[in-house]
Amino acid sequence: MDTTSDPLLRPSLHGRTALVTGAASGIGRACAEAFAAAGARVYVVDLAAGPAEELAERIGGVAHVADLSDPDAVEALPTDADIVVNNAGLQHVAPVHEFPMERFTLIQRVMVEAPFRILRRTLPHMYEREWGRVVNISSVHGLRASAFKSAYVTAKHALEGLSKTVALEGAPHGVTSNCINPGYVRTALVEKQIAAQALAHGIPENEVVEQIMLDRTAVKRLIEPDEVAQLAVWLCSPSASYITGASLPVDGGWTAH
Ligand code: NAD
């Protein structure tokens, strides 16, 4: 047990198992690392086999290579998780009338149906142990819309609803469920958007960040993945046990507008 940290703020998660989806990159990877550092055994779930296996080996976790758009692959994931971090996600930018149907369906499968399937299979284990933590990596787009991101905004709003319902059902069993709502985090997902917008607007990438992405943000910088991960770990601490059904923005003031 780690005696160097304040147990109220930085929980010891020894004896707990955390399942993190989309754990091979970005926020998911930071979460997997942070949960392992707090003592949890981590199931590193991702589509990307190499990076998932590499990370699992480095943090002493177990890799589960799975395409979350495939219900059979989701149903094959372990059920004995005390902590679930629903994180895997993808973006597609297009106006509604031009949005490819298959991208819309894929985004709902990965970002709504997979979290639902994972929770319905892992909640019985949490209920049995009378303790569980569900951390849904939502977005400011779980609270607000932006043009051209219909599938993503729809999926994140659905995840918010699922999170609150699980909070109500889980409370008598010692299970909390919350959303974290980041603004722009420095990850591969955002790097791709920066490059695409630079091309679309014909401006350098640093101007995309400063003038477009951070336009509504009071704190003028991108968020680092570890800042999100630390909040996810804190939600599993004893001092957060009364926080459930909540949506916690980590957005530098984006939703304050
Ligand atoms: P990322 O692209 O760096 O990582 C996403 C991970 O999910 C990748 O490892 C990818 O392989 C995995 N993944 C994608 N589709 C999958 C599938 N079908 N099956 C299994 N794994 C799959 O992205 P990120 O920025 O770290 O995003 C993680 C989560 O955070 C997403 O839900 C995203 O919506 C949310 N988020 C990101 C930001 C941001 O600015 N980066 C802001 C708010 C919310």
DSSP string computed for 184-197: SBSSHHHHHHHHHH
Query: What pLDDT score does 224 carry?
Result: 96
Q: Report the relative pairing of strands 132-137 and 175-182 from DSSP bridges.
A: parallel
User: Mean pLDDT for the chain?
Assistant: 95
Report whether pLDDT(80) > 70.
yes
Q: Which atom of ligand 1 is nearest to the CA of 25?
A: 9
Report whether pLDDT(218) > 60.
yes
CB of 168 sitting under 6 A from ligand 1: no
Tokens of 146: 């932006």
How many other CB atoms are there within 10 angstroms of residue 126's CB atom? 25
Q: 3 falls in which pLDDT band (50, 70, 90)?
A: very low
Amino acid at residue number 149: K
Query: What pLDDT score does 7 carry?
Result: 64
Residues 180-201, mean pLDDT to the nearest whole number: 91
> Which domains does the chain possess?
17-184+223-242 (3.40.50.720)
CB of 224 sitting under 6 A from ligand 1: no
Q: Is residue 43 annotated as part of the catalytic site, yes or no?
A: no
Q: What is the pTM of this model?
A: 0.95
Listed range (9-23, 130-144, 157-171) with the worst mean pLDDT: 9-23
